[in-house]
Structure 1
């Protein structure tokens, strides 16, 4: 691929040169991100079983799962400032290395207390890595193709969601937990190697970022990016729904008697992967509305189909709609976050967005779990669609206010 290609027209009618997207650093970063999430997804269905074998109670197993997200959320606001000082690439390598150490050390945990401590360490590494993967990717992707680029970058997550749980369970059943943790650590080692060949930020870029951070008078603004709050609020609402969808689908299958429930994740990931070939280009050419609005509708349809599901075919149809919706929304919101901030604020903005999304997933699992307790899992999925209804209301109000502000500015100038 050449560095320059044909010209394209953006939504404002301005001709821009179509810059190269598929560069070596971009491909390596996609692979590294894929391997990080593959290692993580392998542990999602297997680590609770390992904890149970160590004598962990249901409450302790829940704490093991929750502490991971909690430690990542607490650390992320500090990642932006740390990357300004030490560099994004170096800190990203440190984050992946911490994940590697945490994964390899699980088998050495002989007590639940040790597992809890390792889970906190693993969460720290995950918080660093996920923040900086998105930030480094946004630095590499040409601004004119950011929606498309962030969509393709996120395909690693989709592939990991479909392959990780199956691979993890297979390794656990065939070879035991020791091999599971060793393979997970080796996958993270490959992620580190891929990251090592990605070009890091220069001293000049770090110096500019440090100056911008030092001149920031507000303590809060050093940890939260205000310009990222609207996309982050929408990400929170998406996470609230997603937390219930992925957490209770197995129990939903048992409740309804639907067979082959595991294929839901496979179809979900395939749908999420395929939609990104379309949604990113639409985001770049037509604007965010033409991605964020129809994608939310698709998720609502998916939730309603889940509510009505009585067979495997209906279940997989729900996965198609929900996967397509989420696969378009998540990279679209990420691209919107990056578009709104200056380059030196991308780390803080990415941390703000991911924290909102992760808080949504954790809170959604708890809230919708209560709904399922009071009613059933089918009703819970119908209720989960309401988060996307709120999403649409918030988004429409925001766009309307933005349009009115723009018209007022035009009148003022005329």
Structure 2
């Protein structure tokens, strides 16, 4: 089956754990920081979304360079840039400075996460790709459990300065792990053109955008919503992460054993149900139940869809495939935070999360069509390959 738990896989996963935790510290606390600087709900959405929008812009560029020049240099550079910019939060004194910082920080996030994610797909055995991406994704899950709770505690006990200092410390650990990482040198011939986009990824990427728009709303507005109903925001993220931790390895193995479409379709439906529950929540029980459902649904969908996109790509385009996945992921989060911030004053929290549920169902119907089309193409290709290989074009033989 191939060895999964290599030293490189473990180092990459732990590095992502600390990197992602430093970001998760800011998920429930940054809206309060923006409010402290005099920002409104709409400005909260814009500033939260700026981070991911900048990542969207730079991920395709990074993906192309990864396929040409290799992974390690970009891992180290991305982590250094991320760390340096994290240090500047303690000196932010106005909203425009914060917007600029979030934009630049998103670049560091794009470089580091795309290069680490691509390096993971390089070293995970193909036959255990779903399982490997599930365990790798568990690092982000644990971050979502620890980060928000720790962020709120640090804010209450040590103020924003203590919060940002701990985020800096976690970023340093991620960088140190990146420095000791050993990866084989991987780059293509210099004459090869750098590719930034793969059109075959676009339909799936668009579906991911609609799937992740609600997460942008959650990161920007859930802390403010649950505070209005006297619930600690950390409770949602903790229960979300606990259910995510439980389902991720299981979903990864199911993806390897069965067709990805089964896991994808079921998980997307559960995600939509979670947002409907959240929209009608008026206390702790509803918030916990919605968090558990969202963890199961969204947590299962992520590794399954990422595995599906990687399997669609040629071996020399895994960097582009990972960049496409993360670009779509970030674009949905960024657009969700910004667009939902614009419409919130007109509809309120309840209908805001209903809109999120509708967005997920749009993603569901798109994925059903995409998966059905892929299955037909694959079946036709296998038929030609088995019965008359001469009918295959050179392009088909490279699939």
**TM-score, normalising length from structure 1?**
0.84
Tell me the number of residue pairs that the alignment of Structure 1 and Structure 2 aligns: 386
**Contact 1:227/1:337, CA 8 A, preserved across alignment:** no
The 1:309/1:28 distance shift into structure 2, 3 A limit, reads same
| Correspondence for 1:239 among 212, 231, 239 | 212
| Correspondence for 1:357 among 326, 329, 336 | 329
Q: Tell me the residue number matched to 1:308.
A: 280
* Equivalent-residue separation in structure 1 for 2:380 and 2:2 (angstroms): 35
The 1:349/1:124 distance shift into structure 2, 3 A limit, reads same
What is the Cα deviation at residue 153 of structure 1? 0.5
Q: Tell me the residue number matched to 2:359.
A: 387
* Residues 1:119 and 2:91 aligned together: no
List per-residue Cα deviations over 1:345-377 (Å, max 9, x = no partner).
111221122111211112223444455433332
The 1:403/1:76 distance shift into structure 2, 3 A limit, reads closer
Q: Which SS does the other structure have where 2:12 is aligned?
A: helix
Q: Tell me the residue number matched to 2:187.
A: 206
List per-residue Cα deviations over 1:155-201 (Å, max 9, x = no partner).
12112122212222332332343333332222111111212232223
* Residues 1:107 and 2:90 aligned together: yes
Aligned-residue RMSD, C-alpha: 2.6
* Equivalent-residue separation in structure 2 for 1:122 and 1:400 (angstroms): 38
* Equivalent-residue separation in structure 2 for 1:197 and 1:91 (angstroms): 14
| Correspondence for 2:199 among 226, 234, 237 | 226
What is the Cα deviation at residue 143 of structure 1? 0.6
List per-residue Cα deviations over 1:313-370 (Å, max 9, x = no partner).
2221111111101101011111111111123211122112211121111222344445
What is the Cα deviation at residue 55 of structure 1? 5.7
List runs of 5+ in structure 1 lacking aligned partners. Answer: 1-17, 217-221
* Equivalent-residue separation in structure 2 for 1:251 and 1:82 (angstroms): 39
Correspondence 1:3-402 to 2 at 5 A: 18-50=1-33, 53=36, 63-84=46-67, 86-202=69-185, 205-208=186-189, 210-211=190-191, 213-214=192-193, 222-254=195-227, 257=229, 259-370=231-342, 372-402=344-374
The 1:249/1:177 distance shift into structure 2, 3 A limit, reads closer
* Equivalent-residue separation in structure 2 for 1:252 and 1:327 (angstroms): 22
Q: Which SS does the other structure have where 1:376 is aligned?
A: helix
**Contact 1:235/1:330, CA 8 A, preserved across alignment:** no
Q: Structure 1 stretch 366-375 or stretch 67-76: which is displaced more? A: 366-375
The 1:55/1:395 distance shift into structure 2, 3 A limit, reads closer
**Contact 2:51/2:102, CA 8 A, preserved across alignment:** yes
Q: Which SS does the other structure have where 2:183 is aligned?
A: coil
**Contact 2:28/2:234, CA 8 A, preserved across alignment:** no
What is the Cα deviation at residue 96 of structure 1? 0.8
**TM-score, normalising length from structure 2?**
0.87
The 1:403/1:363 distance shift into structure 2, 3 A limit, reads same
**Contact 2:49/2:216, CA 8 A, preserved across alignment:** no
Q: Which SS does the other structure have where 2:54 is aligned?
A: helix
**Contact 1:87/1:206, CA 8 A, preserved across alignment:** yes
* Equivalent-residue separation in structure 2 for 1:112 and 1:379 (angstroms): 28
* Equivalent-residue separation in structure 2 for 1:377 and 1:110 (angstroms): 29
What is the Cα deviation at residue 82 of structure 1? 3.0
* Equivalent-residue separation in structure 1 for 2:202 and 2:262 (angstroms): 20
List runs of 5+ in structure 2 lacking aligned partners. Answer: 389-399
* Equivalent-residue separation in structure 2 for 1:404 and 1:343 (angstroms): 22
**Contact 1:231/1:336, CA 8 A, preserved across alignment:** no
What is the Cα deviation at residue 261 of structure 1? 4.3
Considering Cα pairs closer than 8 Å and 6+ residues apart, tell me whether 1 or 2 has the greater RCO. Answer: 2
Q: Which SS does the other structure have where 1:207 is aligned?
A: coil
Q: Tell me the residue number matched to 2:392.
A: none
The 1:20/1:179 distance shift into structure 2, 3 A limit, reads same
List per-residue Cα deviations over 1:240-295 (Å, max 9, x = no partner).
2222234322343355x353443111101111111012100010011201210111
The 1:346/1:252 distance shift into structure 2, 3 A limit, reads same
* Equivalent-residue separation in structure 1 for 2:107 and 2:6 (angstroms): 30
